[in-house]
Every structure is written in structure tokens, then in C-alpha cells.
Structure 1
Amino acid sequence: MALTSSSQTKPNHHPFFLIQFLLCITIFSLTISTNVVALTTTKEQELDKITSLPGQPMVTFSQFSGYVNVNESHGRALFYWLTEATNHPQKKPLVLWLNGGPGCSSVAYGASEEIGPFRINKNGSSLYLNKYSWNKVANILFLESPAGVGFSYTNTSSDLEDSGDKRTAQDALIFLTRWMSRFPQYKYRDFYIAGESYAGHYVPQLAEAIFNYNKKFSHPIINLKGFIVGNAVTDNKYDGIGTVTYWWSHSMISDKTYKKIINFCNFTSEKSSKKCDESVSYAVNHEFGHIDQYSIYTPSCKIMQNETNLNNNNKYVRFKNTIIHRKLSGYDPCTENYAEEYYNRHDVQRAMHANVTGISYKWTACSDILLKNWKDSDDSMLAIYKKLIAAGLKLWVFSGDTDSVVPVTATRFSLSHLNLKIKTPWYPWYSGNQVGGWTEVYDGLTFATIRGAGHEVPLFQPKRAFILFESFLTGKELPK
């Protein structure tokens, strides 16, 4: 516009015209160079580029995977997998996805059975496309975190026995800053964090770490805009009460057992009493029956039904025993087995630039050693929520309503103690002509349920989860 308007005057009559002209040329050149950076790859990126995965259908988007060192002295390196947006990736936001556990793989769950572009066939030999992949609207970065999860590794064995919330957040922050040096086109890009389950800790903790880190810079490279978490571990006390309430209200336990748990269990204590453990153990082993606790109305995988042990040292796991060894549920409850078959193939690992150091153990969806030795776990995320809401970040929390592990009642009990002002009262939201769930919008936070979804919402209700995610990115309320 400046060039057009200026061209209507004579340059020799207006000396300032030359300055205007040169300024416009400079801006135009910078715009071109910025676009070139966004559309080209560096040498480091080329080394991480995935040409094609074994058994993969043809796709139009680019993929990259590999390692980023986060601690040289200990030899800790985190494995990532980037699936760029299917259209105009240079214009789409970057979303980091984290799974929980603690100790479970974002490649196994988020990428392979929830929001990623591919699903794994039953024999682990090939892939097929996910119709509702989230990379249709964003660039999705999957991270196996912390070290010891999936392909991520450490050369210091003691790291596997003293992992915890604080180090996980710090390593993830270091990963992001170093990853963006490798992928400079994502610097300053709108950035969001997403995840589920114990990532209810990872996601807000990392968001807070980024927020604090960004204070050091006038123009930070990690342009954090907000986060979205599902079936998220939020507050030990309110999650515990809400979980037992869900069991009782969904007829999973008797009135007698419900009263015992409420009376004997101290939901704020580091250690549980013998009577509490006995009451919970009785509910799980004698009253639940052979159900998938992550999806109480769908069939469970018979291969994985023998997991009943309790971990008395972890107050979260105390009420959610099956998280000690993740069970997978859904329309195909054994899908986790297909991931373990596929990602242990040498040709798959070569294609993904994974296991380059020759890890001495098999790739697994979850790491038991991390879960059993988790050292620090904050009691509550509510203070972080308040801090980030005050900072103006966009926060969404969602809940599949057939999950009994981190159920909708747990999340609602926890969020209610934020005491947020209601902006848009509770209403049913729609996917097509069907109710997709229910939602309420507060000043600073949106809460939504996904009807008929278990713990891994995008696995059970992929279309509804996609609508939810797209609404989150655009900042629009869920469709009425």
C-alpha cells in the first residue's frame, strides 16, 4: 500500500520518498526471508526427517523424529516425534503432547491411538490413517518424557530411581529451547501444551516453568498461549474424594465399602492407613469385577486383566491401582500390544532414528521402574492454575465421563475449588445432531465433558475430541 500511494508523487519533489521506498523494500525482503526459513529445513532437521515409516500409507505432511540432549553430564536425552500440519504448517500453531503415568509414552498413546496421524494394525505390520488426527489443524510434537520412557534414555541408572515432577518439567523446558534451535521456524510460533492423566501434573508444571523462563526475555522464543488437559490428575484430596464418589455413584462399589473408604482414608496424607488400604483393595478385588477401569462400559483386554496389585507408597496410585501397569481400553482394548509389537521392530526404529545407543531393554508403553520410584509429586495443581489464569493464558480442562481412574467427578471437585466466576453457564454441546458432552465456561478456564469417552478421550470419541481441540485452538465456545 505504501508503494502504491507514494508512486503517485514525484520522487525529486519529496526527498523523504527515498527513505520510504528503501524501508518498504527492506520490509518486503525480510518477509520473503522469513517465509523461506519457514519452508526450508536445516541440516539438523534433515538428519531427523522421516522418509517413510514401515507400512505407512502415503501422506502429504512432513515428519521428524530423533533425540535432544537435556543433560550432558548424566547422558539424558529425550526422544521426540513431530508430525507437521497437513496443510500450511508454517501458519499453524505448535502443540506439545504429553502422556502421563508417570512413566508412559506419548508415542505409544497420544501418537499411536489418540491424536496422531496413524493407527497400528493388529499384527503390528502396518499403519492406517486416523481420520481425526489433530495434525489437521496444528503441528503436533510428541515427547517421550521423562528419560527412561520409551526411547528416551539416560546413561546414569540412578536417574531412573529418583525421577519426579520437578526434574521432568526442567528437562522438558531444556528440550524445548534446544529443539527450537534445531527448528528455528517454530520460534515465536503460537505454542500450546496438551496431555492427559498424570500429564495433569506435567502440563501445568511445564507451562509454569515456561512462563517463569519467559520473564527473562522481552521477546521469548517459546510463545506460550495456553494448555489443554484431559482426565487430569489435579489435586490429591479432591481427586481422591471425587474418585470414590464416582465408584459409588456408578454402582461399582457397595454403600458399605463407600462409607469405609470415606471414613478410613485420609485423602491428604502421604501414607494410607491399613484400614484404608484394605477397604480400597476389597473394592477393587471383590466389587469391581473384571472391568476396564479406564472405560467402565466397554470390554477389557483379557490379556491384561490380572493387574490388581496396589502401591501403598503412592497416594495417587493408592486409589487407582491399575495405573501401575497401564491397561488400554476402547473399541479395541488390546491396542497397546500392537504398539509394543511395532516400535520394537528394528526397521521402525531405524526409520525413526530411535534407539541409536542400543538401549539394553525393550521399548515398552510404560516404565514400571519410573512409576515405582517417583520421588516428588506435588499435592495440587490449583495454585499453578490460579497463577496462569491471572497471567492471561488460555486453559481448558476436559473429561471423558466413563473413566473411573481420573473420573469427571474428581476433576469437577478439584476445579470447583478455584472459585472461578461463571461466564457461560452449563450447557450441552453438540457433535452433529448428538450431544457431544457438557460444558461450562469460566473467567479464565473452560471445562468440558466428552460423552461416552473413557480415560483416553480421543481413542473412544475421536470426532468429539477433534471438535473440542479445534474449538480450543480457535478460542470459540463449544457448539450449541
Structure 2
Amino acid sequence: MARPTWVFLQLFTIVAFLHLGIAVSTENPLRQQELDRIAELPGQNFEVKFGHYSGYITVNEESGRALFYWFFEATEDSASKPLVLWLNGGPGCSSIAFGEAEEIGPFHINADGKSVYLNPYSWNEVANVLFLDSPAGVGFSYSNTSSDLMNNGDKRTAEDSLAFLLKWFERFPQFKESDFYITGESYGGHYVPQLSQAIVRNNLLFKEKSINLKGYMVGNALFDDHHDHVGVFEFLWSTGLISDQTYKQLNLRCANESFVHPSASCDEILEVADKEIGNIDHYSIFTPPCSEVSSNRLRKRMHMVGRIGERYDPCTEQHSVAYFNLPEVQQALHVDPKFAPSKWETCSYVINGNWKDSAGSVLDIYRELIQAGLRIWVFSGDTDAVLPITSTRYSVDALKLPVIGPWRAWYDEGQVGGWIQEYEGVTLVSVRGAGHEVPLHQPKLALQLFKAFLAGNSLSPLQLHSDT
């Protein structure tokens, strides 16, 4: 008699929830976790000692928005390691295309576009790492409502990413109590603090659904439209890439414009600057561009601030396009053929071109989260002309924080790795010789930086050069 009573109560609960408009999941989280496990990747001729998983989390039942993730356990003792979310920007660019496949992930793609190799500087050496393609329409993430792709913006991206995390922790409850950090770069300079703010506020309202957020770190990030523009133009001029006249006109026409929605007048002078700069890689001004890719105009590059496709093999992005379009790769990653894009792309210009709300500044969010006690680091490669070190310094200076540590060099094996400045609430780190994607150009230094961030030791004197 007990079983029919239990069934009746279960059905009554479901009906009550449906009446209230609350979505009821019939998914068995642990079973779905195991279904998401990846056995092996095509073109993988080596074994790994960590588990990894990929799949979808539905973040809006009504419109059918589902976000795609790829999660890597730490190489050793994953239960004791923190959990780190990585977000690329754009807006419209895939965290799997860039963060995983050419920056901090364990699997990078060979030049043949058909096989992978193991990244010796993967961040899952010291943490569990989660990559998320957000918003819907980016990478393998999708929506059943086509108008969703034309109406993305900062606000909904943060809301959907929070919904994703709450459901992801249901699927992976073993990481619910882990220290949690968010990292990212470029337009992720919006995503990362905005999501962090959403988590902090959610934790205050719903303690039973709290996320153990400890801090965040962003690189070559978009902070504040005015200060970032002023920093870009100063960097272009001081490195000799543009003329005096163009420098003056850029400040006159663009300094107070939106990065995502600039005026026609601003676009016009950006076109002039692009011609003066010539065919170089704006994301890494001292390395050769990929000869397979036609030069993008600076105007387009500044709109798509999260995109980069060049490195010492400067054609990395093309390898990713080839690999992730392979049917066997999509099958291994559990991509549902019904929702797979007709052609997988590293960045969606549909998403980027139809971006609705873009905050003019996130400095107010920094002020709020500093008060919340989060560990906040910002870093910058010093050879990036899209969101350069000058932009980062102007934006951080605008916070008007007390300085608590001297400006100093930090070292790696006796060589200067970059410079560091500690403020009350924020740590600023530059990475020497790195472009827009710091882990792409300086992977060893980036891993050292990441370890210091997790430890909160601010690149301690143990890592500094000594003549004694």
C-alpha cells in the first residue's frame, strides 16, 4: 500500500509545481552526468588520467534555449581542487573554440584539423575547468526560438549563465561545495563580473541554491567604454602604428562611443586607422598573421573584441573550424544532430551584429563585488592592440582604489614574466610578450599566474628574481 501512496504524492507534487509554472525536471542528474562522459576524442592517440564530459543544459524551457558545456576534471585528486568556469567573449565567440582548443584546455588541435595533442600547460593541472558556450547561438549552444538569436545581450547572458550553473551543479553535485572561480577574457570582461554579481545576489536571496563563489579573474578585458577607448588609441599611437592626426581624430570621434555599437563617424576614422596600421595581427602586434585569413578591418575587430585566430602557428582558429565540423567529433562531444549548426563557427556574427544591451561600464559592478569580499585579479598581455594594457590601467585607475603593494616585476626562471600592482580589492598583473589571448602566446606564464591567483599569493617573493 505504501508504493501507491508515494506515487500519488509524487504526482500531486508535479501537478502543483506545474500549476505554479515551475519547470519540473525528470532527468536523473547522476545518470545524465554519466551519459555526458566522453570516452575518447577522434584523433586522440594518447591516454589521459582525467575524466571529461560535454552536453547541454536547458536554461529556458519556454523558448528552448540550451547551453553547451565541456568540463574537465583536474588531472589529480579532483575532489580537493577548485572549480573554475572559463568564458570567452565576442560577444558571440565560443569558449570551446578559444579557451579550450587553443588556450587553457587540455586538448589542442593539430594543423591537420583532424587530431589533438595534450597541452602541457592546461589549467586542469591545478583545477577542475568548465567551458561554457554562451549565449544561445554560440558554438553548439542553441535555441528553438529563432528570435532569441537576434535579441541577445548582457542582461540575458548573465541570467542564462546563472541558470546554467544552478542546473549544472544538480548534474554534478560532487562539486557543489568546491571553491568556485570565474575566469575569462576580452568581452568576457562583461560576462565575468556580471555573472559574478548575479551569483552574489542569488546567494543572498536563495541560500539553499547558493554557489560557493570565491572570486574572478579576467584578461585583456573590456571594462569601461571611455577609458578603454582612450587606452586603445594611446597604445596605437605610442607604438607608432597610427599618425598624430588619426590619434587626435580617434579621441575626438570615438572616445565616448560604445565598443559594440559605435557611430558611423567613429567607424569612419577606425577605417583610416586600420589602413595606417596595415596587415598585422592587432591581437598580437609583434607576431605574424595567418596567411590563410584575409585581414579584418580594425573596425570589425573592435566590434568583435573576443575573437583572435593567430599564434606562432598563427592559423590555430582554422584548425579548430576543421576539427569541430567533423561529424565524428560532434558525435564524440554528444552534439545532438537535430540542433547542430549547419556549419560550426568559432564566432557568430549573427549574435555579434544583433547584440542588444551592452553596459557602457562594469566599474560599478567591481565596486559592489569588492565590497562583497571577492578575490579579483585582472591581467593583460602587453602586445595586444585591441584591449591593451593601457586600457586596463586607465579602467583600474578609474576605480580610485588605495595602492597596497609597489609596482614591481615578477619573474619566471630568472626572466621577467611581467609586472604587478596590488590595490585594495584588485590585483593587476601584466604578462610580458603576450597578446590578447595571454595563455595562447605565453602558456607557461599564464599557468603560473593562474596558480598564484588560486592560491591568493599575488606572485609571492618565492617566484621573484633574486641576485643573492
**Residue 181 of structure 1: aligned partner:** 170
Mapping 1:70-469, distance limit 5 Å = 70-218=59-207, 220-268=209-257, 275-285=265-275, 287-308=276-297, 310=299, 320=302, 323=304, 326-469=307-450
Identical aligned pairs, as a percentage?
54
| Pair 332,111 (structure 1): closer, same or farther in 2 beyond 3 Å | same
Per-residue deviation, residues 330-368 of structure 1 (Å, max 9, x unmatched):
211110011111111111111110134243521110001
User: What letter matches 2:98 in structure 1?
Assistant: Y
| Pair 166,422 (structure 1): closer, same or farther in 2 beyond 3 Å | same
The list of structure 1 runs, each at least 4 consecutive aligned residues, that deviate by more than 3 angstroms after superposition, is: 217-221, 268-277, 324-327
Per-residue deviation, residues 194-247 of structure 1 (Å, max 9, x unmatched):
000000000000000000000024465410000000000000000011100000
Does the 8 A contact of 2:58 with 2:164 survive in 1?
yes
| Pair 272,197 (structure 1): closer, same or farther in 2 beyond 3 Å | closer
Residues of 2 paired with 1:357 and 1:269: CA distance? 37
Per-residue deviation, residues 24-48 of structure 1 (Å, max 9, x unmatched):
xxxxxxxxxxxxxxxxx92111100
Unaligned 5+ runs, structure 1: 1-40, 312-316
* TM-score normalised by the chain length of structure 1: 0.87
Shift of 1:387: 0.3
Residues of 2 paired with 1:426 and 1:402: CA distance? 19
Residues of 1 paired with 2:283 and 2:298: CA distance? 16
Shift of 1:324: 7.5
Per-residue deviation, residues 428-463 of structure 1 (Å, max 9, x unmatched):
001111100000011111000000000000000000
**Residue 12 of structure 1: aligned partner:** none
* TM-score normalised by the chain length of structure 2: 0.89
Shift of 1:186: 1.0
**Residue 9 of structure 1: aligned partner:** none
Moved more, 273-282 or 172-181: 273-282
Residues of 1 paired with 2:308 and 2:180: CA distance? 31
Does the 8 A contact of 1:304 with 1:327 survive in 2?
no
SS at match of 2:336: coil
Mapping 1:23-34, distance limit 5 Å = none
User: What letter matches 2:277 in structure 1?
Assistant: F
SS at match of 1:228: strand
Q: 1:46 aligns with which of 27, 34, 37?
A: 34
**Residue 13 of structure 2: aligned partner:** none
SS at match of 2:214: strand
Residues of 2 paired with 1:283 and 1:268: CA distance? 16
Residues of 2 paired with 1:402 and 1:360: CA distance? 34
User: What letter matches 1:453 in structure 2?
Assistant: A
Residues of 2 paired with 1:358 and 1:203: CA distance? 27
Does the 8 A contact of 2:91 with 2:306 survive in 1?
no
User: What letter matches 1:155 in structure 2?
Assistant: N
1:55 aligns with 2:36: no
Residues of 2 paired with 1:325 and 1:70: CA distance? 23
Shift of 1:329: 1.8
Does the 8 A contact of 1:281 with 1:310 survive in 2?
yes
SS at match of 1:304: coil
| Pair 143,325 (structure 1): closer, same or farther in 2 beyond 3 Å | closer
| Pair 257,268 (structure 1): closer, same or farther in 2 beyond 3 Å | closer
Residues of 2 paired with 1:347 and 1:265: CA distance? 46
SS at match of 1:42: helix
User: What letter matches 2:243 in structure 1?
Assistant: S
Residues of 2 paired with 1:117 and 1:269: CA distance? 35
| Pair 269,233 (structure 1): closer, same or farther in 2 beyond 3 Å | closer
Per-residue deviation, residues 393-438 of structure 1 (Å, max 9, x unmatched):
0000000000000111001101101111111110000111110000
Count of residue pairs brought into register by the alignment: 431
**Residue 8 of structure 1: aligned partner:** none
Does the 8 A contact of 2:185 with 2:306 survive in 1?
no
Instruction: Tell which structure's C-alpha radius of gyration is larger.
Output: 1
User: What letter matches 2:369 in structure 1?
Assistant: L
Does the 8 A contact of 1:325 with 1:368 survive in 2?
no
Unaligned 5+ runs, structure 2: 1-28
**Residue 15 of structure 2: aligned partner:** none
Shift of 1:116: 0.3
Residues of 2 paired with 1:66 and 1:438: CA distance? 39
User: What letter matches 1:54 in structure 2?
Assistant: P
User: What letter matches 1:297 in structure 2?
Assistant: F
